[in-house]
Homo-oligomer: A and B are copies of this chain.
């Protein structure tokens, strides 16, 4: 999906886009969302600011584009051999993603931008749809191994395993650590084993 200009892989437009994206991420790390400016991205990327304004519109457009590219990147989903190990690893990945000195400010800025700007919001939602789809095999494999009941909603298990981390980060402002991550994963797993996330069978078609 391309929203800005014509992108040919390896072409000049693609290289410009990659440079702008890298500069956007670097500026986010350096200054946070509040300090992100089109001028800063122009200076860092070497792309003239009039080009940035014309093709990306504003800082939210720059963030949305960086997120859109990030959505397409392959993501190493945990495969530890057990659902317990996989869900814990997944929650730890979220923890690390937001507390890492390099990645944390970028991830935080993405969510902050999504709350403030509809285009960034749509990009973040697309990003999570992709991540959810990529995470589903964790649960599907557990069902195949007999660890979880058939019919378990794979995405819902993943959501519940990581939601407490986001709740603390972006709503209550409470700290997150490995204990919080492990407990969230264990709570989701316990509920999943008990069948809480088994989706109902589809309703019978109405007789006509």
A173 CB contacts on chain B under 8 angstroms: 114, 121-122, 124-125, 128
User: Is the CB–CB distance between A194 and B183 below 8 Å?
Assistant: no
With contacts A159-B167, A167-B159, A171-B128 taken as known, whether A190 is within 8 angstroms of B196 at the C-beta atoms is yes
User: Is the CB–CB distance between B172 and A128 below 8 Å?
Assistant: yes
Q: 0/1 per residue, A135-165, Cβ < 8 Å to B? A: 0000000000000000000001001101110
Complex-state Cα separation, A111 to B197, whole angstroms: 28
With contacts A183-B156, A187-B196 taken as known, whether A167 is within 8 angstroms of B172 at the C-beta atoms is no
How close is A174's CB to chain B, nearest CB, in angstroms? Answer: 8
Complex-state Cα separation, A123 to B154, whole angstroms: 36
User: Is the CB–CB distance between B196 and A183 below 8 Å?
Assistant: yes
Interface residue tally of chain A, by bracket? 35 or more
Question: In chain A between 86 and 144, which residues have their CB closer than 8 angstroms to a CB of chain B?
Answer: 111-112, 114-116, 121-122, 124-125, 128-129, 132
Q: 0/1 per residue, A172-202, Cβ < 8 Å to B? A: 1110000000011011101100101100000
A191 CB contacts on chain B under 8 angstroms: 186-188, 190-191
How close is A114's CB to chain B, nearest CB, in angstroms? Answer: 8
A166 CB contacts on chain B under 8 angstroms: 163, 166-167, 170-171
User: Is the CB–CB distance between A111 and B172 below 8 Å?
Assistant: no
How close is A179's CB to chain B, nearest CB, in angstroms? Answer: 9
Complex-state Cα separation, A183 to B191, whole angstroms: 10
Complex-state Cα separation, A172 to B67, whole angstroms: 13
How close is A125's CB to chain B, nearest CB, in angstroms? Answer: 4
A174 CB contacts on chain B under 8 angstroms: 125, 128
A128 CB contacts on chain B under 8 angstroms: 171-174
Partner of A115, one of B112, B125, B160, B190: B112
What are 12 A-B pairs at a CB distance below 8 A? A114-B173, A115-B115, A125-B172, A125-B173, A128-B171, A128-B173, A162-B167, A163-B164, A186-B196, A187-B191, A190-B194, A190-B196
